[in-house]
Structure formats: structure tokens, C-alpha cells
Amino acid sequence: MDQGNAADFDLFVIGGGVNGCGIARDAAGRGLRVGLAEQGDLAQATSSASTKLFHGGLRYLEYYEFRLVREALIERETLLVAMPHISWPLRFVLPHHDGLRPAWLLRLGLFLYDHLGGRKILPPTRSLDLHEDPAGAPLKPGYEKAFEYSDCWVEDARLVVLLARDAARRSAKIMPRKKCLAARRDGGVWRI
Ligand SMILES: Cc1cc2nc3c(=O)[nH]c(=O)nc-3n(C[C@H](O)[C@H](O)[C@H](O)COP(=O)(O)OP(=O)(O)OC[C@H]3O[C@@H](n4cnc5c(N)ncnc54)[C@H](O)[C@@H]3O)c2cc1C
């Protein structure tokens, strides 16, 4: 940082994406003196170009990561409650076909997905008859059955800005348009 902004911090974060702003908020909430430098605008990079989903990680069930999925499912509903103005439930329709795992196995996985995290807000999985259900209308003929399940989506860039604002409210110094040019260790401290 240039001399004009020299300051002492317990933690200095380089990058104002979702990780940097989330870490800054968490650390400031724990009473650390936090600085954050973002070379451009907050969320200018990957954190405004995601698919905007937050989910329990259905596919990790295949790897028997039950604990990970449970934690993510619990967090999913916590986030929905914490930021109802920028996050929403989203229903996914998974049409079944012969190239997938057997329908009973997918249904079992979705049953676990519904129940591992103590779901309270989101609606449960449904089985769909694609001949009858409107979800079948845009599909090629040949699909007969589908499963409809819940995950969520969030306005990713707004989430980043809200994290930064809340970090600042907790005394973090958030510095957009400040590029970190070098970091060097000098005795017991880092000079940035
Ligand atoms: C196509 C796509 C879809 C995705 N979909 C999802 C999804 O649905 N759900 C999900 O949870 N995740 C998703 N992800 C992943 C998620 O978007 C990323 O993991 C997340 O945005 C990474 O955040 P970050 O803060 O680590 O990085 P970034 O958002 O890239 O932030 C890094 C920041 O550091 C800044 N920076 C770099 N160098 C310096 C410097 N020297 N000085 C100051 N600042 C600097 C950059 O300008 C940038 O703003 C997706 C990713 C992609 C690409």
C-alpha cells in the first residue's frame, strides 16, 4: 500500500471477492483489526461470474461425503434466512434416462439430500411423470420420468458487497481500487 494508507492490521486480505470479503467480515466480527485491498471493484472477478448457486452438494453423496453434505445443507437454510432479499429457493428437474444411474438409486440419493440437513424451509423432492407434468413439455420425446429437487441461488455480487459493508461496520478497512503490489516480511511483521 502507498504510504498515505499505511496502517496496522492483525489481518490483511488481498482481493475483494466472496472469499476475501467473507474472511474480512468473519475476522472483524472476532475483533481483529482487518484491512482489505481490492485492485478494482468489489466482486469484479469470479465472484460476479458464478452460476449463483448455493447448494448442499448433491454429487458429493456419490463419494460418501455425508458429513460435508449435511453441513452444506444446514448452511443452505441458514443463508436463506440470513439474506432473504438476495437469495431464493430454486427447483431443479432431473430427467431420468438410461445413461444415468438407476432411478431407484437417484431417488435414494435425493431422499438423503432431503433429510440429512434437517430441511425446514425448502420443499422436498417430487417424482414427475413427464407425460403429464409441464416440465416435460420442452423435452425431446422419450423422457418419461424426472425428479424435482430443491437448491438455492443468490445474487453473487450483491452478497460480496453486503459482506464488505458488514465487515466495514465491524471496523474493517475496505479499500477498493487499491492494488497490492508487494508483500514482504520485515522482522515480525508484513509490509504490504
Ligand atoms: C462459471 C463459474 C460458475 C461457478 N458457479 C458457482 C456456484 O454456482 N456456486 C458457488 O458457490 N461457486 C461457484 N463458482 C465458484 C465461485 O464463483 C468462486 O469459488 C468464487 O467466486 C471465488 O471467490 P474468490 O474471492 O476466491 O475469487 P475472486 O472473486 O476471483 O476474487 C479475487 C479478487 O482478488 C483481486 N485481486 C487479485 N490480485 C490482487 C492484488 N494484487 N491486489 C488487490 N486485489 C487483487 C481480484 O481483482 C479479484 O476481485 C463458480 C465459478 C465459475 C467460474
The pLDDT assigned to 6 comes to: 59
Atom index in ligand 1 nearest the CA of residue 180 equals: 42
In the predicted structure, residue 140 carries a pLDDT above the cut 70: yes
79 CA from centroid of ligand 1 (Å): 19
Reported pTM: 0.90
CB 20 within 8 A of CB 14: yes
The domain ranges of the chain are: 3-47+157-191, 53-154
Evaluate if residue 4 carries a pLDDT over 50.
Answer: no
Q: 156-169 vs 18-29: helix axis angle to the nearest 10?
A: 30
Out of 25, 26, 41, 47, mutate this one to test ligand 1's pocket (max ligand atoms within 8 Å of CB): namely 47
Interval 24-47 mean pLDDT: 98
Per-residue confidence (pLDDT) for residue 118, from 0 to 100: 87
Where residue 17 falls among pLDDT bands split at 50, 70, 90? very high
Residue with cell 454429487: 59
Give me the residues paired with residue 170 across strands: none
Strand partners, 88: 153
Distance, C-alpha 171 to centroid of its chain: 24
| pLDDT tens figures, 53-111 | 999 999 999 999 999 999 999 999 999 999 999 999 999 999 999 999 999 999 999 99
Could you please state the CATH topology (level 3) that the domain comprising 53-154 is classified under: D-Amino Acid Oxidase; Chain A, domain 2 (3.30.9)
Average predicted confidence (pLDDT) for the chain: 94
Can you tell me the mean pLDDT for 13-29? 98
Burial of 184 (0-12, 13-18, 19+ CB in 10 A): exposed
> Ligand 1, residues 13, 51, 175: which to mutate, most atoms within 8 A of Cβ?
51
pLDDT confidence tier of residue 1, bands split at 50, 70 and 90: very low
Task: With a cut of 80, say whether residue 2 has pLDDT above it.
Answer: no
Domain 3-47+157-191, CATH: 3.50.50.60
